[in-house]
Amino acid sequence: MRQANTNLSNTTFHKIYKTLYKTYGPQHWWPGETPFEIIIGAILTQNTNWRNASRAITNIKAAGLLDPLKLLQQRRRVPALIKTAGFYRTKANYLNAFLEYYLTNYDGNVEKMAQKKTRTIRDELLAVRGIGPETADAILLYALGKRSFVVDSYTRRIFSRHGMVGPDISYEDLQHEIERNLPKEIRIYNEFHALIVRVGKEYCRKNEPLCNNCPLGKLLPRA
């Protein structure tokens, strides 16, 4: 992998993490009672907010289908159950593709899946229809407890607005630079991503960002 043109450093990351953690405290991510629920949530939250995805998961639970085999067997019911998540027909197909992969390769057993190396699982997930890098990394980090940092739109927006990375940096290069500067701890990966999402939603908005009141405003001058 090529060296990305960034202004990232261990010191900068430590300051960002410390500031956000002091501001917000632990985030207890990802919402979900089981690893399988977290996986389903990671797929359903694509192109929508968590509230809509959560409603879809609630519907699946109410139908007694929060089980990989049952959910696949009742695939015709899935589109109606996940309608609140948006693009529900497409996402139903994505869920079916994942379930087929999950049951065929791991018998629907997350512990069996987690035994494989991170890179192997990531490559497998990326080969499943509808699973891109962000979704794959969310599954790896939050459901499987693997060290794979999740790069989302908030991450790119915050770092590029402060001149830490270029706006067109690739997903893989940005992920590599972040992981290179973070302590190799699952907890830190988890909390740092969750804190970035929190400050992104509240302050670093796509339109009309609230820079003057942002916890990172004084720490990181705008580019």
The string of pLDDT tens digits covering residues 51-70 is: 999 999 999 999 999 999 99
Return the closest-CA partner of residue 99 out of 80, 78, 120: 78
Task: Point out the domain boundary residue: 143, 166, 184.
Answer: 143
196 plus 138 within the same structural domain: no
Is there a domain that residue 220 lies in?
no
pLDDT at 217: 85
Give the residues across from 95 on adjacent strands: none
Is there a domain that residue 218 lies in?
no
Q: What is the mean pLDDT of the chain?
A: 93
Q: Is 6 helix (H, G, I), strand (E, B) or coil?
A: strand
- Domain around 207: 10-28+149-213
| 86 phi and psi angles, rounded to 5 deg | 75, 155
Task: Point out the domain boundary residue: 113, 143, 173.
Answer: 143
Sequence-distant (≥ 6) Cβ neighbours of residue 51 within 8 angstroms: none
CATH number at residue 59: 1.10.340.30
76 plus 155 within the same structural domain: no
- Residues 58-111 have pLDDT tens digits of 999 999 999 999 999 999 999 999 999 999 999 999 999 999 999 999 999 999
Sequence-distant (≥ 6) Cβ neighbours of residue 55 within 8 angstroms: 84, 85
Question: How many domains, the chain?
Answer: 2
pLDDT tops 90 at residue 8? no
